[in-house]
Amino acid sequence: MEFSSSRARLRHARLAGDRRELYPHSLQFYQDPPTENISLVEFESFAVDRLKLLKVVENLGVSYVRSGDTYKTKLEQELRKLKFPYKALAEDDYDARRKDHISHFILRLAYCQSEDLRRWFLQQEMDLFRYRFHELSDSLRQKFLEHVNLSFEALTARSLPSIQSDERLQPLLNHLSHSYVGPDYSVQKNTGKISLEQIDALSVKSFPLCMRQLHKALRENHHLRHGGRMQYGLFLKGIGLTLEQALEFWKKEFIRGKVDADKFDKGYAYSIRHNYGKEGKRTDYTPYSCMKIIMSNPPSQGDYHGCPFRHSDPELLKQKLQSYKVPPNGIAQILELVKGMHYQLACQKYFELTHDIDDIGFSLNHPNQYFAESQKLLSGGRELKKEPNHLGNSQQKSSGQESMNSNSAHSSSNTTADAELEELEAYFAED
Ligand code: SF4
């Protein structure tokens, strides 16, 4: 990876001969950006692993006392699993230290692009650093403090102009800052398992708040604006609605409002078919992750999309939770998490309260994950029963259709899909 500073290049040349000199401590202050060239594959896998690590740091930070044994044990387990430095005295962990160094700077680039992202990244890195610092022995701590120069240098954003001109890296960085770690909830494995008659009940039992809000607004107004149709339509596709079901579902609802059947067929059906990869570029679009919903396209007046934990006024959120019979102490906990900008953790708390469990047992990253976990729990660990097929459950990808990968680690393809989706969004931006 080249951050193209000649000073840094010289420094690298000086240090490259001695690995130990390059990373003399397991703990780093990340003063100098890395200067070596690395492959895009390594770039991506380092970034995804660090993102996983920081998400665990966030999760543990609100679930356990930071100085407690459980917090420390679980964080050490994650560091070991992801092959980051975990033991202050280990001498042969050059690869782990290098990964720590490079991955930190990749995420710095990805997360310096807005105030929200910066804050989240800094908070997690601070917690990680604090943990590692406390794990050092007194003498190592002293050595580390002597080694680092604590003088402050301004934020990574200054490196962005040169990075932005690199057409390979910028989409990857944009994607990373909106990415999540987990499967993409593409449609194939669930298709045809839901009937339209089940949706009202499912929206109460198993939809996350964002989708419950969209479903309610659709039923009440018989219409959703563009952002809502995209977010909710792709979610429904992810839980298993076939194209035929989706067309029926949206049409039935819209013609109860101001849109007649003809207008629906001409104006809206095309975009639904497009979402299912049956029009245009034939891309099989992937349901939105929490990060995408939280970080992009905030709702404005008259919109119902977005994440209620991020985008609702706290007072309105409180009223909504009260109307959904969430107990007062649970609402207080959720609002506290929202105040600390832990939106996905607030959603996890909502899951726990509405499913009457103490520990959600997974890290929430995706509305479709919320749905799948809820269904698993409510059916005692079993998958949804397949509906008798009278609703057309034979939705298959066409042979020329682009296949979305099943793991966000392959985010290059997701990046392409994101770009295409944005194109589609712009095309169908009318309400
Ligand atoms: Fe939806 Fe994710 Fe927000 Fe929960 S955290 S409401 S699943 S966007």
pLDDT in tens, 66-125: 888 899 999 999 998 998 987 655 556 888 999 999 999 999 988 887 777 788 888 899
- Predicted pLDDT of residue 4: 44
Retrieve residue 5's tokens. Answer: 């500073």
Cβ(46)–Cβ(102) below 8 Å: yes
Q: Please, where are the H alpha helices in 83-183?
A: 94-111, 115-135, 138-147, 160-164, 169-177
- Predicted pLDDT of residue 164: 58
- DSSP-derived secondary structure for 13-68: HHHTT-HHHHS-SSS----S---S---HHHHHHHHHHHHHHHHHHHHHHHHS-TTS
- Predicted pLDDT of residue 400: 31
- Predicted pLDDT of residue 169: 67
| Residue 292 Cα to ligand 1 middle (Å) | 10
Alpha carbon nearest to ligand 1 atom 6, residue? 210
| Residue 308 Cα to ligand 1 middle (Å) | 7
Ligand 1 near 232 CB (within 6 A): no
Alpha carbon nearest to ligand 1 atom 5, residue? 344
Ligand 1 near 295 CB (within 6 A): no
- Predicted pLDDT of residue 25: 81
10-residue averages of pLDDT along the chain (431 residues): 45 52 81 86 91 89 82 91 75 83 92 79 90 83 74 54 63 64 64 89 96 97 94 94 94 92 89 83 80 88 95 95 94 94 92 91 88 90 42 30 31 43 43 53
Nearest alpha carbon to residue 233 among 169, 243, 38, 176: 243
User: What CA–CA distances, in Å, run from 325 to 170, 251, 320, 331, 377?
Assistant: 44, 31, 9, 10, 20
Point out the ligand 1 atom lying closest to the alpha carbon of residue 294: 8
Ligand 1 near 210 CB (within 6 A): yes
- Predicted pLDDT of residue 155: 77
Show Cβ contacts of residue 259 under 8 Å, excluding neighbours closer than 6 positions: 222, 223, 267, 268
Query: Which of 59, 178, 210 to mutate to test ligand 1, by most ligand atoms within 8 A of the CB atom?
Result: 210
Q: Where are the domains of the chain?
A: 17-177, 196-427
| Residue 72 Cα to ligand 1 middle (Å) | 28
| Residue 188 Cα to ligand 1 middle (Å) | 22
Ligand 1 near 194 CB (within 6 A): no
DSSP symbol at 198:
G
Cβ(54)–Cβ(128) below 8 Å: yes
Ligand 1 near 290 CB (within 6 A): yes
Nearest alpha carbon to residue 396 among 235, 242, 230: 242
Which one is the CATH code of 17-177: 1.20.1250.20, 1.20.930.80, 3.40.50.360, 2.60.40.2470?
Answer: 1.20.930.80
Ligand 1 near 360 CB (within 6 A): no
